[in-house]
């Protein structure tokens, strides 16, 4: 029997998606394809720390893609030459929907030298009237104790910030990094948007 589970069925949202194209230096063909076919404006950075510059901007385009050029330079701790194609936030969610509908032509990426760089997913749990901060604190504290007891490499910690409680598991530079945190989110309800308080679970 085929598994019918999807990100959408489990209320998981793709929040960030990036691709690494080894050896590629010219983002032009990809930028033009994304603009003409799907309405993406684009910016480019010559290095990770460089300033973003507009590559394509059309007022009618509603989405955005970023390109980062990486050149081999051990002195700046850059050991890879290629192009990073990055979709963040609603741009990542939209791009993933195009992939799901099989509208995207993967040949524009040259699959022989392309891999997924990063994929972020989140689940947002809307707060209930019975929710209490002290129970969320207890959940985070117990989670940290369990993770730290089972793994010497994967560290967990939690704290209260000006925005609310946050739990972190692992390191952002690791292949898997988790966060659970309080958040106020704008949720589309069809005819209108509403601001909802809740807890976001992020991988």
Using one digit for the tens of pLDDT, what is the confidence trace for 47-56? 767 788 999 9
Q: Rounded to whole angstroms, how far apart are CA atoms 189 and 146?
A: 37
Copy the structure tokens of residue 55: 């590559």
Predicted pLDDT at 157: 94
The closest alpha carbon to 39, from 7, 64, 73, belongs to 64
Secondary structure tally for the chain: helices H, strands E: 3, 10
Predicted pLDDT at 189: 61
Predicted pLDDT at 185: 79
């Amino acid at each position: 029997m085929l598994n019918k589970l999807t990100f959408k069925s489990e209320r998981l949202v793709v929040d960030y998606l990036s691709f690494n194209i080894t050896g590629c230096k010219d983002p032009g063909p990809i930028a033009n394809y994304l603009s003409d076919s799907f309405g993406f404006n684009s910016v480019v950075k010559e290095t990770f720390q460089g300033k973003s510059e507009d590559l394509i901007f059309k007022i009618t385009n509603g989405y955005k893609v970023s390109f980062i050029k990486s050149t081999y330079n051990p002195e700046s701790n850059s050991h890879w030459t290629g192009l990073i194609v990055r979709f963040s936030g609603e741009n990542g969610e939209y791009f993933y929907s195009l992939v799901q509908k099989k509208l995207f032509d993967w040949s524009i990426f040259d699959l022989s030298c392309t891999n997924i760089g990063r994929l972020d997913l989140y689940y947002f749990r809307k707060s209930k009237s019975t929710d209490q901060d002290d129970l969320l604190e207890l959940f985070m504290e117990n989670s940290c104790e369990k993770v730290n007891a089972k793994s010497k490499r994967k560290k967990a910690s939690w704290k209260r910030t000006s925005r609310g409680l946050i739990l972190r598991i692992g390191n952002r530079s690791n292949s898997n990094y988790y966060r659970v945190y309080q958040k106020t989110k704008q949720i589309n309800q069809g005819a209108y948007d509403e601001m909802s308080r809740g807890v976001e679970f992020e991988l």
